[in-house]
């Protein structure tokens, strides 16, 4: 028995010296310590030796087993370390003393315009509201005085979700009802947001764009308030006095409704390519909130009046920064989009 133990020890040491990978360590472990390994085989021979020697040999085999276990585990650790070191050594070398440039990110031009407007409107007492991009038919259309089958819906075809009655909002006006219900009157709020329409894209049209809606509701609000706020806001955005004009415009949720134009900042009204020679640029649909819309929002139209406007944020960013193609904004092109800095 003793000689067998010595033979196993010698064999183990011999094999150990040629082990050089973690896989070989594992093979060695199985060969000696596995269920059918040499140590287990030796254990099974215990039954053949005389009873009085069993105890002593049992002990000897256990010591052998522990020694092998310990050696295997040490070898495994050493090999793993060596293998890792090898990976590190073979990795690409770099020279940490080489000079490098740290580039800071920049804001998206729409974010810049949005923040600018938020600053201006909060200074005039407006709160900023957030509203989801997925809405239902009621909020996007019916609460805004656009019943089912109304032709005004044709202008705002959008993406309907498979969940019943849910769609991607076509305009920020979709938030009007919820905000009126939440705060009641008097109320001053702006709510920027991403809007979606089923449009074919070209230099002036995108299926995904940004608007900023604003509403002001109080006693005796009139069109002069609307013009005042729009003029103040635009002069701040463009950092110069802007001339505005109102033309009639139709939106079922305002009465009267307008298209607000600004005198072209490029040519001062003379006519140039960017205003299509008209001297004016269409910027912001707006109007006095329709009494039905106030009623839907739980506000008494006999007591309160208000105005609403839907500023095209994307359009404003195009004007402010001279971006010619609307598709630039969603292009993800860092070359194009990282040029804009907040003044």
One residue of 304, 309, 329, 340 binding ligand PHE per CB under 6 A: 309
Helix (H, G, I), strand (E, B) or coil at 55: helix
**Cα within 13 Å of Cα(196), Cβ side:** 13
Considering beta carbons, is residue 8 or 146 the nearer one to ligand PHE? 146
Determine if the peptide bond prior to 256 is cis (ω within 30°).
Answer: yes
Considering beta carbons, is residue 210 or 309 the nearer one to ligand PHE? 309
310 is a site residue for ligand PHE (CB under 6 A): yes
Helix axes 223-238 and 109-123, enclosed angle (nearest 10): 130
Helix (H, G, I), strand (E, B) or coil at 97: coil
Minimum Å gap between C-beta 226 and ligand PHE is 10
Choices 84-92, 108-116, 251-259, 297-305 (CB under 6 A): range interacting with ligand PHE: 251-259
286 is a site residue for ligand PHE (CB under 6 A): yes
Minimum Å gap between C-beta 203 and ligand PHE is 20
One residue of 39, 64, 294, 308 binding ligand PHE per CB under 6 A: 308
Q: In this structure, what DSSP letter does residue 170 have?
A: S
The Cα 330–Cα 202 span in angstroms is 12
* Beta strands in 5-61, from DSSP E residues, in sequence order: none
**Cα within 13 Å of Cα(48), Cβ side:** 6
Residues 200-229, mask of contacts with ligand PHE (x by CB under 6 A): -------------x----------------
Considering beta carbons, is residue 158 or 173 the nearer one to ligand PHE? 173
Q: Which residues 152-181 are close enough to bind ligand PHE by CB under 6 A?
A: 171, 173
- H or E element at residue 105: none
Considering beta carbons, is residue 107 or 183 the nearer one to ligand PHE? 183
Minimum Å gap between C-beta 213 and ligand PHE is 6
Secondary structure string (H, E, C) spanning 123-153: HCCCEECCCCCEEEHHHHCHHHCCCCCCHHH
Q: How far is CA 1 from the centre of its chain?
A: 72
Choices 8-16, 50-58, 268-276, 307-315 (CB under 6 A): range interacting with ligand PHE: 307-315
Minimum Å gap between C-beta 172 and ligand PHE is 7
User: What are the residues facing 257 on neighbouring strands?
Assistant: 287
Q: Which residues 34-53 are close enough to bind ligand PHE by CB under 6 A?
A: none
254 is a site residue for ligand PHE (CB under 6 A): yes
Cβ(110)–Cβ(210) below 8 Å? yes
Q: What's the Cα-to-Cα distance from 286 to each of 145, 244, 282, 283, rounded to whole Å?
A: 15, 13, 11, 10
285 is a site residue for ligand PHE (CB under 6 A): yes
Minimum Å gap between C-beta 332 and ligand PHE is 25
Structure tokens at 162: 């498979």
Residues 92-121, mask of contacts with ligand PHE (x by CB under 6 A): ------------------------------
Q: What's the Cα-to-Cα distance from 152 to each of 155, 259, 315, rounded to whole Å?
A: 6, 16, 21
Q: How many amino acids of this chain bind ligand PHE (CB under 6 A)?
A: 12
Q: Binding residues for ligand PHE, per CB under 6 A?
A: 171, 173, 213, 251, 254, 257, 285-287, 308-310
């Amino acid at each position: 028995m003793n000689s067998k133990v010595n033979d196993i020890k010698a064999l183990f040491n011999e094999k150990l010296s040629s082990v050089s990978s973690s896989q070989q360590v594992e093979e060695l472990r199985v060969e000696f310590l596995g269920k059918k390994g040499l140590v287990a085989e030796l254990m099974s021979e215990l039954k053949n030796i005389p009873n009085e020697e069993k105890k002593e040999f049992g002990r000897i085999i256990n010591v052998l087993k522990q020694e092998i276990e310990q050696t295997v585990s040490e070898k495994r650790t050493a090999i793993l370390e060596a293998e890792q070191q090898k990976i590190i050594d073979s990795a690409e070398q770099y020279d940490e003393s080489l000079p490098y440039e740290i580039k800071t990110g920049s804001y998206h031009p729409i974010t810049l315009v949005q923040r600018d407007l938020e600053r201006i409107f909060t200074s005039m007492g407006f709160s900023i509201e957030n509203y989801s991009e997925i809405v239902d038919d009621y909020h996007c259309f019916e609460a805004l005085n656009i019943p089912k089958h109304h032709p005004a819906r044709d202008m705002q075809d959008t993406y309907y979700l498979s969940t019943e009655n849910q769609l991607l909002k076509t305009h920020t006006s979709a938030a009007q009802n919820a905000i009126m219900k939440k705060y009641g009157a008097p109320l001053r709020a702006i709510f920027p947001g991403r809007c979606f329409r089923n449009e074919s894209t070209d230099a002036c049209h995108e299926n995904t764009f940004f608007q900023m809606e604003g509403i002001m509701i109080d006693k005796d609000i009139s069109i002069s308030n609307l013009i005042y706020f729009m003029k103040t806001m635009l002069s701040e955005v463009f950092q110069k006095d802007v001339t505005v004009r109102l033309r009639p415009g139709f939106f079922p949720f305002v009465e009267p409704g307008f298209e607000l134009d600004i005198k072209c900042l490029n040519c001062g009204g003379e006519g140039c390519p960017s205003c299509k020679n008209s001297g004016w640029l269409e910027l912001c649909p707006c109007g006095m909130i329709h009494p039905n819309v106030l009623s839907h929002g739980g506000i008494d139209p006999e007591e309160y009046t208000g105005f609403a406007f839907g500023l095209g944020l994307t359009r404003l960013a195009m004007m402010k920064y001279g971006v010619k193609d609307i598709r630039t904004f969603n292009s993800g092109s860092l070359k194009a989009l990282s040029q804009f800095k907040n003044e």
